[in-house]
Structure 1
């Protein structure tokens, strides 16, 4: 079962014209539902509001508040008889037209599949050679620049890596191919700033909150590859999992997560 504009259906056909297909005029969210609730709901909704504003869209009523988002996704999970679900919520501008928008109304589709967590360590990671992150007014949200991650995933696969790291065109570390990237050096937690072109991940925000609550010094900025290579420990974080990185090229790291993350993963914020 899926939700198309809040109608619960076994399948759906999307009519043309479709501005999401024609112009990428929209965005998406990947969400996780377990233990009877949607996780990081407020963070997801805040990013959706920001993305909608950047694209001059109005969120539909069923998604207009964090509470509505949670209830709507819970309805979809229940309809699919799932106890743990990975959800994809796609929004696009309604109507036709060319580049100039004719409406701020958004249509949307939500789908659900079983969620199987994978927090296994990342054995091998390296820097992308063919694709760079691109900072833009929309790089913080998911969807408008998805082609970057498709290209990066193709390179990762061709090189036999477990994960890949994108840098911006100046060589600053931005993010992993499917997650935010963090590293620890001398007790300080580092992560690239949004000006690197990385996605403003909901788990990224939660990790930073948890670190600051634990009194850990955090540094967000533009960092060269050498800073990451010199780290004591490295990990990635997305809505699905937090994963240690064992090796970057020939450089090996500590194989344990910072202590504050153990508490954060059982905290109500998650």
Structure 2
């Protein structure tokens, strides 16, 4: 069942107009959230990112959109699903219909979709660079809007070329992220990840992994500019998102990587998920 503005409906009964602004203009944002054992993982981080994104896009935040209210709505939607230990939820917020580029109102509607999720880390994971289009740097690119055409085309490219994922570049040909997550590059005791100014999503798992690495005195974390050539010289590469956690990369072009550090980080992240930090 789907949660449509707080009402639980069967999917076939959810009616969206052709004037829906998320459909017509991509005038929408979303959060992809993990629920484990009936607990919303890193919920505060997701909530505050959602609030910041809504403010940036000048959406009117309803008075009832509190931390507690939205968590309750997510868990209400989980409760009516088939029994499972782990779920993924997509909370989509979009401006109410009306207007052309200029909306008639900044008030919003929301939809919560929930499905079982049991992502297992893959032992082999191959990536390459997507070069057809750029993911432009800038603050707007750090927001999870419904405008994901570059990600879609890169995912099709990956499927056509029997890859697991693709690296997205910005207009300066710097590494931004992969189609569905953030990327980290390890060389010696230096761990690099693209800075937000490169145009990457301000990922929740990204921030947690940065926190873990920063607290590890054996490694130095740098948020910086990364060239695709640095990936070929790396000892290890891994990607992160809220659902998969940490997925080590095993192959990039003809280069093979070790995966030990990425696997350790994934275990550390699971501990944080259970602890609720």
- Match for residue 258 of structure 2? 254
Once the two structures are TM-superposed, the CA of residue 16 in structure 1 deviates from its matched residue by 4.3
| Aligned twin of 2:234 | 231
CA–CA separation in structure 1 for the residues paired with 2:87 and 2:172:
38
Whole-angstrom CA distance in 2 between matches of 1:59 and 1:76: 21
> C-alpha displacement at 1:168, in angstroms?
1.1
Any idea what SS the aligned residue of 2:103 has?
Answer: coil
1:150, distance to aligned residue in structure 2 (A)? 0.4
8 Å contact kept, 1:128–1:155: yes
- Aligned residue for 1:8? 8
The CA distance in 2 between the partners of 1:43 and 1:8, in whole Å, is 25
Which of residues 118, 136, 145 is equivalent to 1:116? 118
Q: Residue 104 in 1 paired to residue 106 in 2? A: yes
1:138–1:144: 8 Å Cα contact kept in structure 2? Answer: no
* TM-score where L is the length of structure 1: 0.93
Given that residues 32 and 240 in structure 1 are in contact (C-alpha distance below 8 angstroms), is that contact kept between their aligned partners in structure 2? yes
CA distance in 2, matches of 1:125, 1:43: 28
Unaligned runs of 5+ in 2: none
Counterparts in 2 of 1:56 and 1:82: CA distance versus 1, 3 Å: farther
For residues 265 and 114 of structure 2, what CA distance do their matches in structure 1 show? 31
Answer yes or no: is 1:82 the counterpart of 2:114. no
2:194 & 2:276 partners in 1: Cα distance? 22
Q: 2: distance between equivalents of 1:61 and 1:82?
A: 32
Name which of 49, 52, 55 aligns with 1:53. Answer: 55
Deviation track 1:3-58 (CA, whole Å, cap 9, x = no partner) reads 10111112311234211111111111111111221111111112111210111012
Q: Which runs of 5+ in 1 are unaligned?
A: none
Q: State which of 28, 31, 35 in structure 1 corresponds to 2:30.
A: 28
CA distance in 1, matches of 2:189, 2:32: 31
Length-normalised TM-score, structure 2: 0.91
Q: How far 1:129 moved relative to its partner?
A: 2.2
Residues of 1 paired with 2:51 and 2:124: CA distance?
A: 33
Q: How far apart, in 2, do the equivalents of 1:176 and 1:118 lie?
A: 18
Partner of 2:177: 175
CA 1:118–1:131: 2 relative to 1, 3 Å: farther
Preserved CA contact (<8 Å) 1:190 1:219: yes
Q: In the aligned structure 2, how far is the partner of 1:39 from the partner of 1:66?
A: 13
C-alpha deviation, 1:175, in angstroms: 0.6
Residue number in structure 1 paired with 2:269: 264
User: Structure 1 CA distance, aligned partners of 2:259 and 2:251?
Assistant: 9
